[in-house]
Amino acid sequence: MKSFDSVDRGRSIHGIGKYPYLLILLFSVCIFMIPKALYSQEPGKAVSGDPKELLELGDASWEKRGTKLDTDNARAVEYYRAAAAADPFSYEAHWKCARALWWLTDQMLAAANVKGGEHEKLGREGMELAGRAKLINPDGIEGHLYYALTAFHYAFGIGMIEAMKGGVFDAICEDLTWCQKRDETYGGGIVLRGLSSYFRIVPWPKRDNDKSLKLSTEAVKADETSVRNVVYLAAAYEMLGMGDKAVNILEVAVAMEGDKEQEPDFKRWKKFAKRCIDEGRVIETETLF
């Protein structure tokens, strides 16, 4: 079984706040010992070495991300990777690269274009970057959030049971719970949606479909324009054996206008909902995270 220790950097690091000298020592050690593999993928020739410029280029590419397996976000990953390599102390570069990796892997999953090995690889890289972000700024919500979200993909890559045994799901729950206490409505309900997914897909005995439904309902309230939030609510009803209710919720999702500015891939979720209705099949709840 793969060891989870190698990808669990930064876990619960916010608890060291009581011992500032220990935090400084730990951070210094991590800065020099973190593997070069974290930045192993070289960016394209157009990428310069100035951290500020790289972040700006990454942000510009991120804003162009679309509804397909787009090259703009892949380019954003390259820019953010290079920015993190150029400035190992940049909280922004690390969490933004983790976010871009999460989005990219998520889009690949929707396109059925990623095998388990790629989920494991990209998820691991995202966790390492987000874990580093947590070391740099233990109080930043972004590092904790994208550690958890990329960990979902890592868990999918290595297998849910192995992830459970290796402590991956514990780490996901810990970070998302931390985010919920900090700001549960952050990102239009993405924290609540993540927690709902955790309780929906975590293996027994920790699975709790009632809690998943409650959290998903709260996520919809946090951002009623999010088609994805509504689809996840349908999945929560499906897991409780309430198929008719799930279909009704999916019909709501199909009829929604969506908000491209807030949710660039909303059309993906409308199509997903319509396909589930048309084919009369069970929602693919195991890949909704």
What is the domain-level CATH number for residue 149? 1.25.40.10
3-state secondary structure 190-257: HHHHHHHHHHHHCCCCCCCHHHHHHHHHHHHHHCCCCHHHHHHHHHHHHHCCCHHHHHHHHHHHHHCC
The reply to whether 78 and 155 lie within a common domain is yes
The model's pTM: 0.82
The reply to whether 19 and 114 lie within a common domain is yes
The reply to whether 145 and 211 lie within a common domain is no
**Structural domain ending residue among the three candidates 182, 211, 234:** 182
Cβ–Cβ < 8 Å for 185, 215: no
The reply to whether 247 and 112 lie within a common domain is no
Q: What is the mean pLDDT of each run of 10 residues along the chain (289 residues)?
A: 38 37 41 39 55 94 73 84 96 98 82 66 96 98 98 92 95 98 94 97 94 98 96 94 94 94 90 90 66
Domains of the chain: total:
2
In angstroms, the CA 118 to CA 153 distance is 9
The reply to whether 124 and 242 lie within a common domain is no
Cβ–Cβ < 8 Å for 235, 200: yes
The reply to whether 219 and 141 lie within a common domain is no
**Structural domain ending residue among the three candidates 182, 213, 245:** 182
Q: Any idea what the CATH number is for the domain that residue 194 is in?
A: 1.25.40
The reply to whether 159 and 215 lie within a common domain is no
DSSP 102: H
The reply to whether 212 and 72 lie within a common domain is no
The reply to whether 240 and 137 lie within a common domain is no
Domain with 211, as residue range(s), is: 184-289
The reply to whether 36 and 178 lie within a common domain is yes
The reply to whether 37 and 156 lie within a common domain is yes
